[in-house]
Amino acid sequence: MEEFTTLTGVAAPLPMVNIDTDAIIPKQFLTTIKRTGLGAHLFNDLRFDEEGNERPDFVLNKPPYRESKVLVAFDNFGCGSSREHAPWALSDFGIRCIIAPNFADIFYNNCFKNGILPIALPKETVSRLMEVAERGSNATLSIDLEAQEISDPDGNIVSFDIDPFRKYCLLNGLDDIGLTMEKANSIDEFEGSQRANQPWLYGAAGS
């Protein structure tokens, strides 16, 4: 998983509540277990019409926001089903940070496992950042995870909270597998000792 230390990029405004995981990645695209390729279908029904043509009024189809790295949205982002394809699609598109007043619990947890930083802030703060995001090409936000700060183009700084363990994982690019591999030496030592003392567990004959 890619490390998350600092991020600077154009923030896309999504002034909507209850953006569910089916809106993020519709069910017809859940047939794959690959984490790549889903970005093309992110917000599919909002980005494209029935013929597959772009809807020009959707934010990610507008020139300033086509390569946005940050989303700013309203309440209950990521509600609905627990599909992990939702953060996969966001990450594959290039979204590394989502700012909203609150998130659905399962989606929130899945973000950290896929290198995405979800930041929950008071509604009035999110509304102000939404106004910044609506500036188009000037809607650049900088996120410093170590300092736990967001900087806007006007020099304003917003602090945010994050669980220390989740912060550690993002800073070091550690998903569940990465966390396990940090203990590889201890695991090898345990298995070596167990193999010597209980060889029958490993199929050894004569025990």
| CA–CA gap between residue 155 and residue 157 (Å, rounded) | 6
pLDDT band at 206 (very low <50, low <70, confident <90, very high): very low
Domain assignment of residue 206, yes or no: no
More confident call, 201 vs 6:
6
Strands of the sheet containing 6-14, edge to edge, are: 117-120, 97-100, 70-73, 6-14, 140-144, 149-151, 157-159
Does 207 reside within a domain?
Answer: no
Residue 182 lies in a domain: no
pLDDT in tens, 70-124: 999 999 999 999 899 999 999 999 999 999 999 999 999 999 999 999 999 999 9
The neighbour count for residue 194, using CB atoms within 10 Å, is 12
**In-domain check, residue 108:** yes
Query: Tens digit of pLDDT for each residue in 129-153?
Result: 999 999 998 899 999 999 999 999 9
Per-residue pLDDT for 126 more than 90?
Answer: yes
Neighbours of 35 (CB within 10 A): 15
Residue 162: CB atoms within 10 Å? 16
Helix or strand run (H / E) with residue 164: helix 164-172
Three-state DSSP class for 144?
Answer: strand
Q: Which helix (H) or strand (E) holds 157?
A: strand 157-159
Per the domain annotation, does 193 fall within a domain?
A: no
Q: Has residue 86 been placed in a domain?
A: yes
Domain count, the chain: 1
- Signed CA dihedral, 89, 92, 94, 97: sign only: positive
In a domain, 184, yes or no: no
Handedness of CA 68, 70, 72, 76 (dihedral sign): positive
Q: Which domain holds residue 148?
A: 6-174
Segment 168-201, tens digit of pLDDT: 999 999 876 666 665 667 777 777 778 778 888 7
Residue 202 counted as domain residue: no
CATH number of the domain that 125 lies in? Answer: 3.20.19.10
